[in-house]
């Protein structure tokens, strides 16, 4: 079952998370008013995201060979597999055309996993 969250639900969760991080960081907190930030409030960079993603996949028993980019590829494959028009998918992932999503669809084969 998929649970849909309203914008207010998400906003409340983000604000709660930021408040907990700010309290834990204490004097080190730097408020940049961001929904996604480091443990001290600074903007996330690609390295932060990759490290966090590796921790998540490791805890889930998937190992550490995964990258956040694979979420994007999985999204494209699943949307395509569900019959979403390739033009819509291209727009959702920020492509100007359909060439990249189509090639990702062909290269992923028929399996969602590794």
3-24 pLDDT, tens per residue? 555 566 777 888 888 899 999 9
Q: How many CB atoms lie within 10 A of CB 95?
A: 17
Whole-angstrom Cα distance, residue 85 to residue 27? 49
Whole-prediction pTM value? 0.54
Give me the chain's average pLDDT, please. Answer: 80
Q: What does the pLDDT look like over 61-88, one tens digit per residue?
A: 989 988 888 888 888 889 888 888 888 8
Q: DSSP 3-state assignment of 77?
A: helix
Q: How many CB atoms lie within 10 A of CB 77?
A: 21
Chain centre to alpha carbon of residue 13: 16
């Amino acid at each position: 079952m998929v649970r849909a969250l309203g914008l207010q639900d998400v906003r409340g969760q983000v604000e709660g998370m930021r408040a907990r991080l700010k309290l834990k960081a204490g004097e080190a907190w730097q408020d940049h008013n961001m929904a996604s930030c480091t443990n001290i409030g600074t903007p996330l960079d690609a390295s932060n995201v990759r490290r966090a993603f590796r921790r998540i996949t490791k805890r889930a028993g998937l190992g550490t060979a995964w990258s956040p980019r694979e979420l994007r590829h999985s999204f494209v494959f699943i949307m395509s597999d569900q019959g979403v028009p390739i033009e819509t998918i291209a727009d959702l992932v920020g492509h100007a055309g359909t060439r990249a999503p189509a090639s990702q669809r062909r290269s992923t084969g028929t399996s969602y996993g590794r």
